[in-house]
Amino acid sequence: MNKFFRILALSGVAISSAYGAENSAGWSALKSEVTGLFTTQNVPGMSAAVVSQGKIVWKYEAGFVDESRAVPVTIDTPFWIASITKPFVGLAYLHLASAGKVNLNELASSTPDFSDTCNWLKGTSIPFAKGMKCDAAITIDHILHHQINGTPGSEFMYNPIMYSRLSRHLEYTLAGTIKGMKGYHNQLAQAIDKYVLAPAGMNDTMASMFDPSKTSVYQRMSDGFKVSDDEKKTKLAQPSKYIAGGAGMVSTIRDLAKFENALYTKSILPAPVDQEFNKQPAFSDGSDAPYGYGWYFQTIKGHTVMWHSGWDPENGFSGVIVRIPEKALAFVALANSEGIWWHNSLVKGEIEKSPIAKAFISEALAR
């Protein structure tokens, strides 16, 4: 063990299993970037993995779950995944549309409170308000593509506030009311369970923290932390228990690997859903768009890269999931602080600005 890793070990960082039996040869640049990020960002706890053909071939586990530093982080540690919830929401909607249970071309204004929320947002200085036209014909599909700022369908702007209205839409569509949707394992959570989590075998993932069948996951969930400039770690409040369209799920690295396996084997992608899921997103004029159904799409060195990040500064969590379908490779990372976040643009995808994602993509495309 070299001096650097001896120092980490003495400080209580759980590093030994980061180089265990599941690790294949290579990924040296990725290992360097992940270890460097963990150290320089003073991340309390972090886990990550590379998934090849649905199987974990490299993993990283470091730090602790709790303020007392008693429980080490592993790839089985549940984290709040913040906006990495969106790929699950998008896939659930594709299943529901295929089953004829929702109409993606339905006007969003038919959902109670949508117009009020839109007009409220429009009147604020919040960045997501830019160009909002609340009297325009905004559809559910526009929301699922983040194409509601400006003329709907004409431009992209990441808008998590309006994406979060999707839980209300689904509650109203399937249950006939939005009353009480924040107080139980709601219709959106149940759809994610049915179409994604159960068939993928994701038993350590909660579609909402109200799920009564997964109390053990809730009990093992990592705390979230704020890390100050002087490296002080402060435990933050737990996130809300219900799922909105934009966030609400808890998962582990191992379960996110199961998610990738289910996408790779297409066990959760029946033909009609698979066609839409893998299709390059587009604007209404047919030109390529950067986002669709919960995933950013970028082309890097001729390969499609699908990805999403998660960032919650109020509750202290961050993460990233990256897929390169043509290579059957994926990378997932979760942390209990803001350490993974990289200030991604609101108007375009720039996964290459994430140091750890860039290292993964570079090594993956070289294989």
Confidence check: pLDDT of 8 > 50: no
Query: Which tens digit of pLDDT belongs to each residue from 227-241?
Result: 999 989 999 999 999
Confidence check: pLDDT of 18 > 70: no
Domain range summary for the chain, segments of one domain joined by +: 3-96+182-365
> What pLDDT shows up at residue 26?
83
pLDDT band per the 50, 70, 90 thresholds, residue 25: low
**What does the pLDDT average to over 159-171?**
96
> What pLDDT shows up at residue 82?
98
pLDDT band per the 50, 70, 90 thresholds, residue 1: very low
pLDDT band per the 50, 70, 90 thresholds, residue 328: very high
Confidence check: pLDDT of 113 > 80: yes
> What pLDDT shows up at residue 7?
36
Q: Quick one: CATH architecture of 3-96+182-365?
A: 3-Layer(aba) Sandwich (3.40)
Confidence check: pLDDT of 181 > 60: yes
> What pLDDT shows up at residue 24?
56
Q: Is residue 259 a contact partner of residue 81, using CB atoms and an 8 Å limit?
A: no
> What pLDDT shows up at residue 269?
98
> What pLDDT shows up at residue 267?
98
Dihedral angle, C-alpha 232, 235, 236, 240, nearest 10 °: 150
pLDDT band per the 50, 70, 90 thresholds, residue 20: very low
Q: Which residues contact 290 (CB under 8 A, 6 or more apart)?
A: 156, 281, 296, 297, 298, 348, 349
Rounded to whole angstroms, the Cα distance separating 105 from 114 reads 15
Residue 228: count of CB within 10 angstroms of its CB: 10
Tokens 């709601």, residue located:
186
Helix, strand or coil, per DSSP, at residue 297: strand
**What does the pLDDT average to over 180-206?**
97
Query: Which tens digit of pLDDT belongs to each residue from 289-307?
Result: 999 999 999 999 999 999 9
Confidence check: pLDDT of 22 > 90: no
Confidence check: pLDDT of 201 > 50: yes
Confidence check: pLDDT of 345 > 70: yes
Confidence check: pLDDT of 121 > 60: yes
Q: What percent of the chain has pLDDT over 70?
A: 93
Q: Is residue 77 a contact partner of residue 96, using CB atoms and an 8 Å limit?
A: no
Residue that wins the pLDDT comparison between 3 and 227: 227
Long-range contacts of 298-303, Cβ-Cβ distance < 8 Å, separation of 24 or more: 298/349, 298/351, 300/351, 300/352, 300/361, 300/365, 301/365, 303/327, 303/365
> What pLDDT shows up at residue 88?
98
Provide the whole-model pTM: 0.93
